[in-house]
Structure 1
C-alpha cells in the first residue's frame, strides 16, 4: 500500500511540474530581454509628444504572472484597451535575470522597489509624472478594471492639462 501511495504521489508531482512547464511555454512573451530599453523609451517619448499622449512604461518580465495578467486585462477589455490607445504610448520594459535594465530603472527612480509589474508614467517631454505600485490595482487573482481605469484616467494628458480645469470652472 505504501508503494502505491508513493507511486501515486510521484506521478502527481511529475504531472504537476509538466503542466506548469506547458503553461510557461504557452505564456505570451510581452517583454524582450534583448531590447534596448533606453532607445525604446526615447522613441516612445517622441511618439507620445507628436500624438499629445503620455507614455506608460509597464516594467516586469515574462516570468511574472501578475505582469501577464495585467497585460491580458488591458488588451482584452475593450474599454481599457481603447483608453490606453487614445491616451498613452505603452512600452514593456524588461526586468529579468537576462537583463535587469539597471541604468534605465535608476534613471526612473528605482521603480522596482514596488515589485512587478510596476508602472511609470512619462509625459511627452520624458518627465516622470508618476510611479504606480500595481498592488493597489489588484483584486482577487487579477487587477480591478475600475482601479486600473481610475489610475489611467488620473495620469492621462487631459487630467494633467490646466485647461481641463479652467473650462470646468466656467
Structure 2
C-alpha cells in the first residue's frame, strides 16, 4: 500500500514538472524591467536663440530681396554725376525753403525699391516729401564721394537716408532697419521721420 502511494506521488510530481515546462515562468517585474531594452532618450533639439534667428534671416533675406529687385525698373541712375545732382538739389532746396533727402542704395536692393515705392504710393508720405524735401537717389556703388562728403556710414546697409539743410549741412543720418515692420517699411515710422526733420516754417 505504501509502495503504491509512493509511486502515485512520484507520478504526480513528474506530471507537474512536465506541465510547468510548457510555458516559461512569468518573470518578476524586476527581472522583466532589467531584460527590456532601454529606450534611448531623443537628443534635445537646440533651442533657437534670437541671435540664431537673426543670423539666418540676415543670410537669407538679401538673396531673396535681390531676386525680386532684379525684375523691377531701375530707380537709381548708375551713370549720374552725383555731385551735380546734390548741388542742383541744394540750390532748389534753398530757393523753395526745403531740405534735401539723400537716399543711398542700388537697383539690386529690394528694400530700396520697397522704400521708394512707399514714397510714391502712400499719400501722406508723398505729400510730406513734395512739401518739405528734394529727393536725390544716390547709387551707393558710385556715390563714394558723396558718402564721404557727408560722412554716410554705408557699411550699415542700404537704403540709408541723409537729410541736408539748404546750405549742405547734415541734419541727420538714418539707417532704415529701424523703420521696417516685417517684410516692409512702416508708413507711420517713415512719415514720423520726415515730419521730425522737415524745415522749420519761416
Q: TM-score range by the shorter chain?
A: 0.7 to 0.9
TM-score (norm 1): 0.76
The counterpart of 1:131, out of the listed 166, 173, 178, is: 173
d(CA) in 1 for partners of 2:118, 2:148: 28
Deviation at 1:68, TM superposition (A): 0.4
CA RMSD of the aligned region, Å? Answer: 1.6
Deviation at 1:28, TM superposition (A): 2.2
The counterpart of 1:108, out of the listed 150, 158, 163, is: 150
The secondary structure found in structure 1 opposite 2:137 is strand
1:52-101 per-residue CA deviation (whole Å, 9 max, x = no partner) reads 000000100000000000000111111110111000000100013xx2x2
d(CA) in 2 for partners of 1:86, 1:44: 14
The equivalent of 1:83 in structure 2 is 128
d(CA) in 2 for partners of 1:150, 1:29: 27
Deviation at 1:102, TM superposition (A): 1.4
Task: Tell me the number of residue pairs that the alignment of Structure 1 and Structure 2 aligns.
Answer: 137
Q: Report which structure shows greater RCO (CA 8 Å, sep ≥6).
A: 1
The counterpart of 1:50, out of the listed 89, 92, 95, is: 95
1:71 aligns with 2:116: yes
> Which segments of structure 1 move beyond 2 Å, counting only runs of 4 or more?
23-26
Query: Runs of 5+ in structure 1 lacking a partner?
Result: 1-19, 164-170
Deviation at 1:26, TM superposition (A): 3.2
TM-score (norm 2): 0.64
d(CA) in 2 for partners of 1:93, 1:135: 18
